[in-house]
Structures are given as C-alpha cells and as structure tokens.
C-alpha cells in the first residue's frame, strides 16, 4: 500500500473509532455527569482515557497481528465465545444506533425545524448512501474525517464562549471531590465499550493492514483515536462546566442543547444542531459497519454481501426509532451496558494473545497484558458496584 494511502487509512480508522464513540449518547453523558460532578468530572475523564488506551492497544495489536476479527479470534480461544461476543456487540450496536438515528433527527430539527421522523429518514438515507459507493471504505474514511474535524472546531467556539474555570477544572482533575463508579463505567463504555472497541481494528483489517510489520501504524491509529475522543470529551466538559459556573440551568430533557444555547445564544443552539447531527450520523455509520463486521465472517454469503447487511442494519434501526423513539435516559444506559461488555471482549483478546496458533511468533508485551487485565478487573469491579448501587434501596 502506498504511504499516502496507508496514512489515509490509519487516520480514517482513528476517526472511525473516535466518531463512533462521539454520538448523541456521548454528548448527553458528558453534560449529565458534568452537571452531577462539576469540576471533579475531569478526574473521571482522565481515568477513563488511561483505561481506554490500555484497552485499545491490547485489542488493536492482537487483532491486527492475527489478521482476524474479534469474533473469529474469540472462537479460536474459547469455542463458541465468538458467537456470544458477536451477539452482545450486535445488540449493543443496535441499541446505540436507534439512539444515533434519534440524535441525527434531533440535529436536523434544530437546524431546519424538520419533523423528527422526517429527519430520521433523511439521515438514514445519507448513511445508507455512503455504503452504496463501490469504494465504500474510502467514502467511510473521508466522511468521518471531515465531520469529525467540523465537530471539534464548532465545540471549541462554544468552549471559548462559555468561559470555563480552567484552573479549577485542572485542579479537580487530579484532586477530585467525589468519584462516581457509574460515571467511569459509562464513560469507558461509551468510549471503547461494545462495538466501539473494535471499530478501528476491524477497519484496518478490512483495508489489509495486518501482521507484525504493521504494529507501528496500529499503535499510532489507536492512540490517535483515543486522543481525538478525549479532546472532544474535554471540550464538552469545559463548555458544560462554564455554563454551570455561570449559574445557568441545564435542561434535563436535552442537556447538551441547553449548554450550547446558554453559552452562545441562538447561534450556539444552531451549532448544537450541526454538532448533534455530525456526531449522530458518523455514529450511525460506525455502529452499522462494526456490528456487521462481527456477523459477516460466520458465512461466506454474509461476507460477500456485507454492504447490504450494513444498509439493512441502518434501515432497521430507523424503523425501530420511528415506532418506538429514544429518550435521553436510554442513551446514558446504552453506554453503561457497553461498559459491561468491554471486560468480556478484552479478556478474550488477552487470552488469545498467549495462543501461538492465533498470533504466530508475535510476543505480546507483558506490561500490556498486565495493563489489560488491570482494565478488566477495574471495569468488572465498577460494573458490580454500579449494579449494586442501582439495586440497593434508596
């Protein structure tokens, strides 16, 4: 592969992972938890970024060295586990995608006053259109890069307008006043949980980037994806914190919209519409692409018709939204659920990293294995605590 094309695919994989993470749920989670934890939410972001990096490096390296997708690696590690993982990922991806369609329709409603059902159909047609191209992979990379950069620039404008207390945010990032286990599970789940963890790695494998010789590029892509996601998370956190410190109310019915509107007035509200639509449509694309990548290897006909499966996935998500809808609480819950899936998928990949029949003569670094198991234990612990707190009497 030419160096220019290689760099494009690597950056495309990073943006696919990042924009898959930054959906309506991501915007909502960040605002909701900033409202609850104030400046201490910075610590949750910092911890989640560290956990994200350890999880991504392990998964991306092992999968690309093997040249196989996560479900196939899992099946070779523990028979049948790949089918279970694929089912969990597909169901989690579907839950997220219904919310993504809802977010895209909301963005168009804010921008043009369109009925949310009409906005959902228009957004679905645009998402489907990308996979109608013969070179769908290149269209995917280009779309996620352009819309991802647009989101970052617009959010920076809102941060500047909200005048956040930077010194206090920095201080409590390292010395938090409170720590919320559910916030950590939800953030990690919303950033690298479920299908998101595997989005970039599967994109690299589909593009033919695999083997030990590709590890430097894989490391770069994984780190870039996490840092892009962290940048957007921090910017949203600062924008929300600025609004809170100004004493302005945040509407529980649509938390991120009220942040943008309070920070920059009517223009801020329109910017929210653009950001919400960009975040949602890129997540629609990422969720559909990655969820189908977990199913298509189970049968030759599925693999040869993967674009049609992706189109059907987007269409089905849209139909469910049109008949059911998607409230804010479900968007936050979806991130939490995907946080539970992460330790399962990561544990399977870590076990696979020790199997010579999967990774050949590649020796997975010991420190990465230790860091990976640390993430598994941390996420299992926080997940159990989250369930206990939810079930215990108030």
In order, the DSSP letters of 2-23 are -HHHHHHHHHHHHHHHHHHHSS
Q: Taking residues 265-286, report their average pLDDT.
A: 91
Cα–Cα distance between 111 and 91 in angstroms, integer? 31
Q: Average pLDDT, stretch 110-120? A: 91
Contact predicate 49/188, CB 8 Å: no
Residue 191 has pLDDT above 80, yes or no: no
Q: Residue 328: pLDDT above 80?
A: no
CA distance 91 to 287: 11
Q: Tokens representing 381?
A: 């612990």
pLDDT at site 304: 79
Whether residue 130 contacts residue 136, with contact meaning beta carbons closer than 8 Å, is answered with yes
Residue 353 predicted with pLDDT over 90: yes
Read off the CATH number of the domain in which 215 is found.
Answer: 1.20.1740.10
Can you give the pTM of this predicted structure?
0.86
Whole-number pLDDT of residue 182: 75
pLDDT of residue 336: 61
Q: What is the mean pLDDT of the chain?
A: 86
Q: Can you give the pLDDT at residue 327? A: 43
- On the 0-12 / 13-18 / 19+ scale of CB atoms within 10 A, 231 is middle
Q: How confident is the model at residue 76 (pLDDT cuts 50, 70, 90)?
A: very high
State the pLDDT confidence band at 171, using cuts at 50, 70 and 90.
Answer: very high
Mean pLDDT of 175-203: 80
| pLDDT value at 388 more than 80 | no
pLDDT digit string, tens, across residues 196-239 = 889 889 989 988 889 999 899 898 888 888 888 889 889 989 99
- Give the pLDDT mean for 96-101: 85
160-170 pLDDT, tens per residue? Answer: 999 999 999 99
Lowest mean pLDDT among 118-127, 129-138, 225-234, 258-267: 129-138
Residue 10 CA to residue 229 CA, distance in Å, equals 16
pLDDT > 90? residue 367: yes
- Portion of the chain with pLDDT greater than 90, in percent: 39
Residues 37 and 255: their CA atoms lie apart, in Å, by 14
Question: 92 is in which domain, residue-wise?
Answer: 3-391
Strand, coil or helix: 164? coil
Give the total number of structural domains in the chain: 1
Share of the chain above pLDDT 70, in %: 91
Predicted confidence (pLDDT) per residue in 335-347, tens digit: 566 667 788 899 9
For 317, which DSSP code?
A: H
Of the pLDDT bands very low, low, confident and very high (cuts 50, 70, 90), residue 2 is low
More confident residue, 338 or 33: 33
């Amino acid at each position: 592969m030419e160096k220019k094309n290689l760099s494009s695919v690597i950056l495309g994989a990073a943006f696919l992972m990042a924009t898959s993470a930054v959906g309506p749920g991501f915007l909502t989670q960040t605002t909701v938890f900033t409202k609850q934890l104030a400046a201490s939410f910075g610590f949750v972001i910092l911890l989640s970024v560290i956990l994200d990096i350890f999880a991504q490096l392990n998964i991306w390296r092992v999968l690309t060295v093997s040249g196989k997708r996560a479900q196939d690696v899992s099946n070779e590690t523990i028979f049948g586990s790949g089918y279970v993982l694929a089912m969990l990922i597909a169901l989690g991806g579907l839950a997220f995608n219904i919310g993504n369609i809802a977010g895209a329709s909301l963005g168009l409603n804010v921008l043009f006053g369109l009925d949310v059902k009409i906005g959902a159909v228009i957004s679905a047609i645009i998402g489907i259109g990308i996979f109608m191209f013969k070179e769908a992979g290149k269209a995917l990379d280009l779309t996620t890069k352009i819309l991802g950069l647009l989101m970052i620039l617009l959010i920076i404008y809102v941060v500047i307008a909200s005048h956040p207390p930077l010194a206090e945010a920095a201080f409590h990032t390292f010395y938090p006043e409170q720590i919320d286990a559910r916030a950590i599970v939800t953030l990690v789940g919303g950033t690298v949980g479920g299908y998101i963890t595997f989005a970039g790695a599967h994109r690299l494998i589909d593009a033919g980037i695999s083997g030990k010789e590709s590890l430097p590029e894989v490391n770069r892509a994984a780190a870039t994806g996490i840092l892009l996601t962290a940048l957007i998370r921090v910017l949203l956190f600062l924008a929300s914190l600025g609004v809170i410190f100004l004493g302005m109310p945040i509407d529980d019915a649509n938390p991120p919209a009220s942040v943008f509107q309070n920070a920059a007035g009517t223009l801020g509200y329109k910017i929210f519409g653009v950001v919400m639509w960009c975040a949602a449509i890129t997540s629609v694309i990422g969720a559909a692409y990655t969820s189908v990548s977990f199913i298509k290897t189970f049968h030759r006909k599925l693999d040869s018709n993967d674009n049609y499966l992706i189109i059907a996935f987007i269409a089905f998500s849209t139909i469910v939204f049109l008949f059911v809808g998607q409230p804010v609480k479900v968007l936050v819950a979806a991130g939490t659920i995907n946080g539970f899936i992460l330790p399962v998928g990561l544990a399977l990949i870590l076990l696979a990293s020790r199997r010579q029949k999967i990774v050949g003569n590649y020796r997975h670094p010991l420190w990465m294995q230790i860091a990976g198991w640390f993430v598994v234990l941390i996420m299992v612990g926080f997940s159990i605590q989250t369930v206990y707190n939810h079930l215990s009497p108030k």
